[in-house]
């Protein structure tokens, strides 16, 4: 048995690394971060080869989250960032077999000829609709409030974020802020207009601009690398150290690992929901579900040479009704510099997701062949790819589907009951990098103050960007 730490953190993905980063700032707070794999960063994974730089995990994050901006500032990464502003980097949705440009502001979206005038009137009927009771899926909720014409566009949004299925994701899970507005104001449009008016009054004089997709010249791996860089190996960070069990005895948390047992006053689980649930079994009342669905995707990185060209912008997404092989593709060499050798382009196609797990069984050669066939119908890609690589992440994206609100409530009750227990990470409160950083800040603040984490934060209204 090793000495007792103030805090043990399980998992050195972005969530655990951010908690460790913040705890390092506390004088005389001892902590140890335990990571099962040899490297830190978790789902973040950049792949560099033959002059191409692709991402097997996240491609970037929007710079509109105060906590993420603070982390970049504190770590010095702010100076290194590369940014692709949404105002300049347009996005497309594949509709009826071709790419349609999607404007980025609600007013422009409404003005664009994406849906018919009658369908636009149906959207406004939201003003007279009562809040929808129960735990509706995204599809049920959008259909009820705004009509079915919006569904393909909403499908594209949730394909791009969750690789999910809007017939299964629940609105209370994926957009709690918007759901709250619906319940408070009786209408989403009325509630949003009120909020916008309030924000205009308080932010008079400040310039409104769209956020930028943010990454690093070396790819997203740089984020994990920087956050681990100052951790003292063996004292503050142990890699190749899988936590197999945890318990609480004599007022201390104890974890069992292949490298011995460790004890601490506080225990942070910074893990994807399913990994956390496996370790939490046996603690308190059983969870309402022992596992949630995950959506696995593969990234197919493709380089093309002379004659190939990409439309300006960030990439495109495809709703399921289009019945295409790829969920969409990122125009990576448009977005960030040095993603492809001179005279070449790089695009990264995404395949699989919640609705097509069977495609992950396809071998690399056939995945590449099918992806190229699909992309060629939409883009100017003559000749054979000059580069191709299939990147298969180990884990999937947690899906906030039926029963998720009850599971989150169970976690919050558990954290209130079990002194010193903090449960954060991939899928608990959102799935994006910004969600991870925001929640990790809240957890480390609670530890600093010696408080339990209620798990309750104001349900933010996340803006939707394609």
The residue (of 397 and 447) whose beta carbon lies closer to ligand FAD is 397
Phi, psi of 439, deg, nearest 5: -70, -35
Interface residues for ligand FAD in 287-326 (CB under 6 A)?
297
> What minimum distance in Å lies between the beta carbon of 343 and ligand FAD?
27
> What minimum distance in Å lies between the beta carbon of 99 and ligand FAD?
20
| Residue whose C-alpha is closest to residue 335's, from 92, 89, 101, 93 | 89
Phi, psi of 350, deg, nearest 5: -110, 135
The residue (of 270 and 340) whose beta carbon lies closer to ligand FAD is 270
Interaction between residue 226 and ligand FAD (CB under 6 A): no
Residue span binding ligand FAD (CB under 6 A) among the ranges 141-149, 180-188, 246-254, 426-434: 426-434
Angle at CA of residue 277, ends 273 and 279, nearest 5°: 125
Interaction between residue 425 and ligand FAD (CB under 6 A): yes
Residues 6+ apart with CB under 8 A from 268: 7, 8, 9, 10, 16, 19, 422, 423, 424, 443, 447
Interface residues for ligand FAD in 356-395 (CB under 6 A)?
393, 395
The residue (of 14 and 86) whose beta carbon lies closer to ligand FAD is 14
Phi-psi region of 17 (alpha: psi -120 to 50; beta: other; left: phi over 0): alpha
Separation CA 8–CA 254 (nearest Å): 9
125: tokens are: 């009927």
> What minimum distance in Å lies between the beta carbon of 424 and ligand FAD?
7
147: tokens are: 């009509």
453: tokens are: 């984490």
Separation CA 34–CA 218 (nearest Å): 25
Interaction between residue 169 and ligand FAD (CB under 6 A): no
> What minimum distance in Å lies between the beta carbon of 117 and ligand FAD?
35
Among 7, 36, 104, 221, binds ligand FAD (CB under 6 A): 36
The residue (of 131 and 393) whose beta carbon lies closer to ligand FAD is 393
Among 8, 16, 99, 378, binds ligand FAD (CB under 6 A): 16
Separation CA 151–CA 130 (nearest Å): 20
Beta-ladder partners of 316: 92, 329
93: tokens are: 């949705």
280: tokens are: 């939490």
Separation CA 200–CA 75 (nearest Å): 32
Among 48, 50, 242, 457, binds ligand FAD (CB under 6 A): 242
Interaction between residue 33 and ligand FAD (CB under 6 A): no
| Residue whose C-alpha is closest to residue 322's, from 93, 150, 97, 164 | 97
300: tokens are: 């197919």
Interaction between residue 328 and ligand FAD (CB under 6 A): no
Q: The dihedral of CA 116, 118, 120, 122: what is its sign?
A: negative
Interaction between residue 13 and ligand FAD (CB under 6 A): yes
Interaction between residue 11 and ligand FAD (CB under 6 A): yes
> What minimum distance in Å lies between the beta carbon of 329 and ligand FAD?
13
Residue span binding ligand FAD (CB under 6 A) among the ranges 101-109, 171-179, 271-279, 365-373: 271-279
Among 147, 272, 315, 398, binds ligand FAD (CB under 6 A): 272
End-to-end CA distance of the chain: 51
Interaction between residue 53 and ligand FAD (CB under 6 A): no
Interaction between residue 7 and ligand FAD (CB under 6 A): no
Interface residues for ligand FAD in 333-352 (CB under 6 A)?
none
> What minimum distance in Å lies between the beta carbon of 380 and ligand FAD?
25
The secondary structure of 258-280 as a DSSP string is TTEEEEEEEEEEES-HHHHHHHH
Interaction between residue 59 and ligand FAD (CB under 6 A): yes
Total binding residues toward ligand FAD, as defined by CB under 6 A: 35
Interaction between residue 399 and ligand FAD (CB under 6 A): no
Residue span binding ligand FAD (CB under 6 A) among the ranges 85-93, 200-208, 282-290, 425-433: 425-433
Interaction between residue 42 and ligand FAD (CB under 6 A): yes
Among 94, 115, 381, 431, binds ligand FAD (CB under 6 A): 431
Separation CA 343–CA 39 (nearest Å): 34
> What minimum distance in Å lies between the beta carbon of 193 and ligand FAD?
28
Q: Are strands 243-249 and 252-257 parallel, antiparallel or unpaired?
A: antiparallel
CA dist 319 to 138, 150, 166, 240, Å? 14, 11, 10, 40
Which residues contact ligand FAD (rule: CB under 6 A)? Answer: 10-16, 34-37, 42-44, 57-61, 242-243, 270-272, 275, 297, 393, 395, 397, 425-426, 431-433, 436
């Amino acid at each position: 048995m090793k000495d007792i730490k103030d805090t043990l953190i399980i998992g050195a993905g972005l969530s655990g690394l951010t908690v460790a980063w913040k705890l390092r700032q506390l004088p005389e707070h001892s902590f140890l971060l335990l990571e099962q794999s040899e490297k830190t960063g978790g789902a973040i994974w950049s792949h560099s080869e033959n002059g191409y730089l692709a991402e097997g995990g996240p491609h970037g994050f929007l710079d509109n989250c105060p906590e993420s901006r603070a982390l970049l500032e504190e770590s010095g990464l702010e100076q290194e960032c590369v940014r692709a502003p949404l105002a300049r980097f347009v996005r497309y949705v594949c509709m009826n077999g071709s790419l349609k440009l999607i404007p980025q502001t609600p007013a422009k979206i409404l003005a664009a000829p994406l849906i018919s005038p009658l369908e636009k009137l149906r959207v406004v009927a939201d003003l007279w609709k009562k809040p929808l009771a129960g735990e509706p899926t995204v599809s049920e909720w959008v259909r009820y409030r705004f009509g079915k014409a919006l569904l393909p566009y909403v499908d594209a949004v949730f394909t791009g974020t969750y690789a999910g299925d809007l017939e299964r994701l629940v609105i209370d899970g994926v957009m709690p802020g918007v759901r709250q507005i619906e319940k408070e104001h009786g209408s989403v449009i009325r509630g949003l207009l009120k909020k916008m008016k309030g924000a205009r009054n308080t932010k008079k004089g400040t310039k409104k601009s769209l956020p930028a997709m943010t990454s690093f010249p070396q790819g997203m791996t740089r984020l994990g690398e920087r956050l681990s860089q100052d951790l003292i190996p063996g004292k503050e960070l142990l890699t190749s150290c899988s936590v197999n069990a945890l318990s609480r005895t004599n007022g201390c948390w104890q974890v069992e690992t292949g490298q011995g047992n460790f004890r601490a006053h506080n225990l942070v689980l910074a893990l994807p929901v399913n990994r956390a649930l496996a370790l939490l079994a046996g603690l308190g009342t059983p969870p309402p579900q022992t596992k949630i669905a995950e959506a696995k995707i593969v990234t197919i990185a493709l380089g093309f040479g002379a004659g190939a060209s990409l439309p300006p912008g960030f990439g495109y997404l495809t709703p399921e009704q289009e019945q295409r092989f790829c969920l969409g593709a990122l125009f990576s060499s448009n977005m960030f510099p040095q993603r492809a050798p001179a005279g070449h382009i790089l695009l990264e196609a995404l395949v699989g997701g919640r609705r097509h797990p069977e495609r992950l069984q396809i071998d690399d050669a056939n995945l590449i062949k099918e992806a190229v066939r699909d992309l060629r119908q939409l883009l100017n890609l003559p000749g054979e790819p000059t580069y191709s690589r299939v990147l298969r992440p180990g884990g999937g994206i947690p899906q906030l589907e039926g029963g998720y609100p009850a599971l989150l409530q169970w976690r919050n009750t558990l954290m209130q009951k079990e002194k010193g227990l903090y449960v954060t990470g991939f899928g608990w409160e959102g799935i994006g990098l910004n969600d991870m950083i925001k929640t990790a800040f809240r957890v480390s603040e609670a530890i600093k103050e010696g408080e339990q984490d209620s798990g309750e934060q104001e349900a933010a209204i996340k803006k939707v960007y394609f």
